[in-house]
Structure 1
Amino acid sequence: MTYDEWFIQQGNLHANVMKKLEDKSVDEVIEYFRFDNMVKNEPDFCPLYKDNKKCHDMEDLNCYLCACPNFRFKTEGFEKTEEGRTLFSVCNIKSRDGSQYIGDDYIHQNCSGCIVPHREKYIKKHFNRSWFEVMKDVRS
């Protein structure tokens, strides 16, 4: 599955959950997306849920922004490095907790050490009932 395909699929999964929460307040929606609740009530939302595994090692993981609005990707790549690798994804805020996966001919952003979009304060600041609207700048 390409990142484009995953992105569309995840946005649709998010929209389906949001349909169930139309009558809920912003705080109630954010609370619903807490990891423990999602594992229990939305087991198909994330493949990691079946193993009760988190994508980020943090106590209060919130899955509302399962993809980060600061992540940028381009299917054809942003640029080629001097070493001939294609840079496919980057962190728009250059998080100090991010890193890169570097392969023989590619570079991808590694967000596993960053918890910025999974904090409820951050989610509330950037909240929109449309996940695609929050994520509108991710795909270049």
Structure 2
Amino acid sequence: MSYNKWLREHAQKHKEIIEKLLAENLTQDEIIEYFDFDNMKNKERDFCPLYAQNKKCHDMEELNCYLCSCPNFCFSDKGIKKVDDKTQYSYCGIDSKDGRQGVYGETIHQDCSGCQIPHTKAYVAKHFNLDWSKIMSICEVKSANNH
């Protein structure tokens, strides 16, 4: 699945949850709290395939799933640049010390599994928008060789 396809599909799932929560008149803080991993795995099982396994994508006690993908995750489905004989498709826009570039055959992708930045309630509150796709709109690298 391409990054763009995943982003579109996830944005739709996110939107449906937000619409439900707004219909319940939840505040911004209550919405952020709703996206707590333990709550989401019980109430929104289809939001993430890891919920069925009771598995977190990041090893942290209080994982917030509002920003399931990070606004600092920069990508291009067409590839960003060539590195030796491999194509790089993603990178961290803030060069987090906890991220790394993973090489998978002929491709290079950002591995964010060691980073917790976007999964804290404080970070979500700072970057909050009811429209998740607006937060994530900065991720796509529009042309190759931008990094």
Amino acid at match of 1:3: Y
The Cα offsets for residues 43-83 of structure 1, whole Å up to 9 and x where unpaired, read as 000000011110001000000000000001001111112x1
Find the counterpart in structure 1 of residue 145 from structure 2.
none
**In the TM superposition, what is the alpha-carbon distance from 1:126 to its structure 2 partner?**
0.2
The code of the aligned residue for 1:45 comes to F
What amino acid sits opposite 1:47 in the alignment? P
Distance apart, 1:104 and its partner CA: 3.5
- 1:125 corresponds to which residue? 126
Q: After the TM superposition, which parts of structure 1 deviate over 6 Å for at least 4 consecutive aligned residues?
A: none
Deviates more, 1:40-49 or 1:97-106: 97-106
Do the aligned partners of 2:3 and 2:76 also contact (CA within 8 Å) in 1?
Answer: no
d(CA) in 1 for partners of 2:29, 2:104: 41
Which structure 2 residues correspond to residues 1-140 of structure 1 after superposition, within 5 A? 1-22=1-22, 23-81=25-83, 83-140=84-141
Output the CA distance in 2 between the equivalents of 1:25 and 1:134: 18
- Runs of 5+ consecutive residues of structure 2 not aligned to the other structure: 142-147
Give the drift of 1:129.
0.3
Displacement, 1:103?
A: 2.9
Percentage identity across paired residues of the two chains: 49
Tell me which amino acid in the other structure corresponds to 2:41. Answer: V
Distance 2:17 2:115 in 1: 25
Residues 86-119 of structure 1: CA deviation (Å, up to 9, x unaligned): 1100000000000111133211000000000001
SS at match of 1:46: coil
Contact between 2:102 and 2:108, CA under 8 Å: does it hold in 1? yes
- Unaligned ranges ≥5, structure 1: none
1:108-136: CA deviation from partner (whole Å, max 9, x where unpaired): 00000000000110000000000001111
* TM-score between the two structures when normalised by the length of structure 1: 0.96
RMSD of Structure 2 on Structure 1 (CA): 0.8
Give the residue type in structure 1 aligned to 2:19. K
